[in-house]
Amino acid sequence: MESITVIVDIWSDSADRGIRLRVLDVDQAREIPLNDARFLVRITLDDRRRMHRCLIRHLASGREAFLQGGSGLSAFVRACLLQNDEQTGLANVKG
């Protein structure tokens, strides 16, 4: 079995109010080229409003992948990705 380790950089570009993304291959010390893409992300919550599962769909091709969730994924997304739970509408998602 082989593994690949990457660093994902995400930052706001205040000049055009956009978000930038860069993926770096740690082992090769190089940037991984990415295609322009657009994704649909659907988050399924359980009865206690914890993130249960996450669907990611590539809109151009229709290909899909699922991520299993749980309290760890919910807490990670809120703490590391979202600017403000109230702005996203995810304030009631439990961690």
- Tell me if residue 21 falls in helix, strand or coil: strand
- The one-character DSSP state at 49 is S
pLDDT tens, residue by residue, 41-56:
888 888 887 777 888 8
Q: Parallel, antiparallel, or unpaired: how do β-strands 6-13 and 30-32 relate? A: unpaired
pTM over 0.75: no
Torsional class of 62: left (φ above 0), alpha (ψ -120 to 50), beta (otherwise): left
C-alpha span between 92 and 94 (Å, rounded): 6
pLDDT tens, residue by residue, 50-83:
777 888 899 999 999 988 766 676 677 667 766 6
